[in-house]
Chain A
């Protein structure tokens, strides 16, 4: 099976360190661009939540047990119609299909396992590469 294309075409990859200030700066830059081209407050809320979850997953789960100095790669493109964000970690990857449903009654009291479901709930499309170490999220601007 061929690997689905989960890159953002034409985007320059940004190496992002596990550093809160660098993470916040990248997210704020992206959201500023989104606001300027017409994304509303609910879109900005959705995109912020999804990118925070994806970056947390990459560092906390993707790089679990690996060096804290490892960076992740972020690609993004903002246009009035669509925002695309791809995040790749250097870990072995995971199988998103294998995640338990966190909304089942028996899982409600478990403190983790909601990041991917929130990304899927708030973004228009969420695709993983076959290794499971890169995710691409797309948000189509409902106001465009």
Chain B
């Protein structure tokens, strides 16, 4: 039921008594009885809030959604139904639905204003465009007023029916990010310094008992009569933990109406994990966030669907910036203790401040080869007044990228192109 709310006076007719006395005074001075009469008309409104009854209507609200699990970009129709449960007319009923802040209303209005007959119901529809994440609707704000508009009562009403939208993005186009040459035992795509089974030639050695016949160099055996074994570059799978910077600073954007940088960071992280899983690497996910987020490195289809759900709906990666404090050193230490000893780290961050660069350096120093994937949040700015501020932010960020590269940390500066193009360009640069 609705929270209790006091009646407020709107003071709508504040000053009407002055008008009345003005009319009566001028009428008396000028000997004009009609002006005195006009003053009488006005004086009635001075007491309107005393005459009229208080608005005490019981209002019920229900909400229904065309779908509670839309795909990203799908339009969801929200139907809001407001009922006057009392036995008197509500002359002025206004409602504002608690639309989740990260969702844009694409059609209609989540606001409604109508008089409501006793037992009467009014319905409004509006459309929201779904975006990644779990979005909770808030209570509905209600304002009811009396007939003369002199008294109002404002309160929040819990809404019956559906109250959340959960949107898991589709699997992205996989991105094959080049990893450092560190690997674990199982077969994969990371080239190691040692020879073994694989596809790329590494060396020829003496035949040892038990070598598979397919790796014996039969040409050499035919010409020299000695058996030798061909070794290929051993390809192994890596353990990679993709870490998303989900602190409040990562929700920045040069364009206030555009999507925050973290959305690109999450999309990039998702595409990279898809690419890594495709090449049989073990992939885990974590976040630099006040909310704990950790998924153990693993592989397989079940793990892939877990990752997809995590990137779509995990509370640490919500579309709205966290308000809880982030403890930078504690959280980083916690992450470091969780990382498997042979893990590589891919840190997806817009590098909006110096902390992610520090985190990257610390991880590298503790023996975790770290690659930073950084969506640039300073690329689009429509408002000229913001241009100097954004220019300074861009300079600071460029300096962070340069400094990380100088320290030997791979840093992918992802500008306005697709992640695939950006990764391809970076991989070419790293392989030089």
Instruction: Report if A and B associate in a common complex.
Output: no
